[in-house]
Amino acid sequence: MQYWLVKSEPFKYSWEQFEKDGQTFWDGVRNYGARNNLKAMKKGDLVLWYHSNEGLAIVGIAQVIKEHYQDPTTPEPAWVVVDLKPYQKLNKPVTLAQVKADERLQNMDLVRLGRLSVQTVKPDEWKVILELSETKLKK
């Protein structure tokens, strides 16, 4: 099991809309680092959902349900998508300010690589985020 974080501007595609839709493909990635992270995602991996630009908080957990394939929104073969479904809403959002203030998260990609839209999350960072959000993973 690997852990990830994806960023979405809530006015474009919010966690609430994602929950309503029941699943989505993660498209529009045009950065090679983020694309490589999409390619590394495996079915069953868990993904933190971060509201960027407004909100600035991790609000939910998605699950990878289909591994990477050609992005249907572009003919360019370099770009891929993965399919995600909602897994669990966090009990409390974890703000960017909280992440930056927590010494245990100082090396998190969200702090170090702020502009990257698809990021890795280390297992110890994952545990801290769940702790800060007061969330226990459902079985």
Burial track 78-113 (b if 16+ CB lie within 10 A, e otherwise)? ebbbbbbbbbbebeebbbbebbeebeebeebbbeee
What domains can you pick out in the chain, each with its CATH number?
A: 3-132 (3.10.590.10)
Confidence at 7, pLDDT banded by 50, 70, 90:
very high
Query: For residue 79, what is the DSSP state?
Result: -
Per-chain mean pLDDT for the chain: 96
- Give pLDDT, residue 138: 87
Lowest mean pLDDT among 68-72, 88-92, 111-115: 111-115
Are residues 55 and 94 in contact, defined by beta-carbon separation less than 8 angstroms? no
Residue 46 forms beta bridges with which residues?
Answer: 3, 63
Angstrom distance (rounded) from CA 120 to CA 59: 17
Residue 114 confidence (pLDDT) above 90 = no
Query: For residue 19, what is the DSSP state?
Result: H
Q: Can you give the pTM of this predicted structure?
A: 0.96
Give the percent of the chain with pLDDT over 90: 94
pLDDT in tens, 16-71: 999 999 999 999 899 999 999 999 999 999 999 999 988 999 999 999 999 999 99
Residue 96 confidence (pLDDT) above 80 = yes
